[in-house]
Amino acid sequence: MMKVAVIGAGVMGSGIALCSIQAGYPTVLFDVHPEALEKGITYIQTQLDVAVSKGKTTTEKAAKALSLLSTTPDRSTLVADFIIEAVLEQLPIKRELFGFLETINGPQTIFATNTSSIPITQIAAALKHPERVVGVHFFNPAHIMKLVEVIKGVATDPAVAEKAFAWSQSLGKTTVYAADAPGFIVNRVARHYYVESLKALEENTASLESIDRLMESSGFKMGPFKLMDLIGVDTNFSVTSSMFQQFHYDPKFRPNRIQQQKVEAGHHGKKTKQGFYKYD
């Protein structure tokens, strides 16, 4: 059975780890912060309890899934067949991480990145074996959202992409291939859901509550400000900033000062108990 390692014990990384163990893969969850690992374990246990209470799984299956999960704060032990990172959306961090992992793993290990917007080609370019890097982009919350984008960089071995695609499908995901273009498919299409909503707020066209209600009444499951709080206001801002740069500073992708102020104030959404809304 393929061993999986998930790097980053935030909501996204924990959600990916949850998907992995539910599919029967021995999975190790890594984070440099022990308290983050504790929160990650609590999150996974809570989601399994919810699934049991809703009849989506059984107590026995939930216990079996948990038995496949381990954690570590020591990255020198991250030797696995399939490694996926869900760390900060910053190119230097991802490059350094994969550069290190390349030195301790064998030639068959697949390195997957959950990046939302950074080109796979850029991440892989600094490695000795860029053909082993592939994008596997989940959506938040990872254990609920069905869609996963698999992205091949210029150097990605087609066989690596096929294995990543098959792994995603084995988790029960609806998996699609996407080009290594800014924002891939979903973030490219959805970016203006956030940008235009922020612009409307900035121009006092309507309150954020009204904008959210309007979009939800139009058929969206969640308004843009609620969704940014769920994803992480900081993460969403980083993705917008990255795409603004990749599109050569096209004004239609310009990040908004209101969102920047939220990030600078530490109001990152649900994970900090305050974003555009407050959470008790």
pLDDT digits (tens, 9 = 90+) for 153-186: 999 999 999 999 999 999 999 999 999 999 999 9
Amino acid, res. 202: E
At residue 1, does pLDDT exceed 80? no
Terminal-residue alpha carbon distance, the chain:
42
26 pLDDT band, cuts 50/70/90, is: very high
Give pairs for 199-202: CB < 8 Å, separation 24+: 199/256, 201/225, 201/258, 202/256, 202/257, 202/258
118 pLDDT band, cuts 50/70/90, is: very high
CATH superfamily to which 4-178 belongs: NAD(P)-binding Rossmann-like Domain (3.40.50.720)
**149: exposed, middle or buried (C-beta count within 10 Å: 0-12, 13-18, 19+)?**
buried
CA distance 111 to 79: 11
Where does 4-88 have alpha helices with state H? 11-22, 34-53, 59-67
- Domain boundaries, given as residue ranges, for the chain: 4-178, 187-272
| Tokens standing for residue 152 | 């091949």
Residue position matching structure tokens 């869900």: 86
Query: Which residues are catalytically annotated?
Result: 116, 137, 149, 187
CB atoms within 10 A of CB 171: 20
pLDDT of residue 32: 95
At residue 112, does pLDDT exceed 90? yes
What residues have CB less than 8 Å from 166, skipping those under 6 apart? none
CA distance 48 to 272: 23
At residue 121, does pLDDT exceed 90? yes
At residue 28, does pLDDT exceed 90? yes
Q: What is the mean pLDDT of residues 96-123?
A: 96
For the whole model, what pTM was predicted?
0.89
| Tokens standing for residue 175 | 């998996």
* Beta-strand relationship, 133-137 and 147-152: antiparallel
pLDDT digits (tens, 9 = 90+) for 240-280: 999 999 999 999 999 999 999 999 999 999 999 999 999 98
pLDDT digits (tens, 9 = 90+) for 134-150: 999 999 889 999 999 99
Domain 187-272, what fold? N-(1-d-carboxylethyl)-l-norvaline Dehydrogenase; domain 2 (1.10.1040)
pLDDT digits (tens, 9 = 90+) for 184-231: 999 999 999 999 999 999 999 999 999 999 999 999 999 999 999 998
If we measure between CA atoms, which residue out of 227, 19, 191, 247 comes closest to residue 114? 19
At residue 95, does pLDDT exceed 90? yes
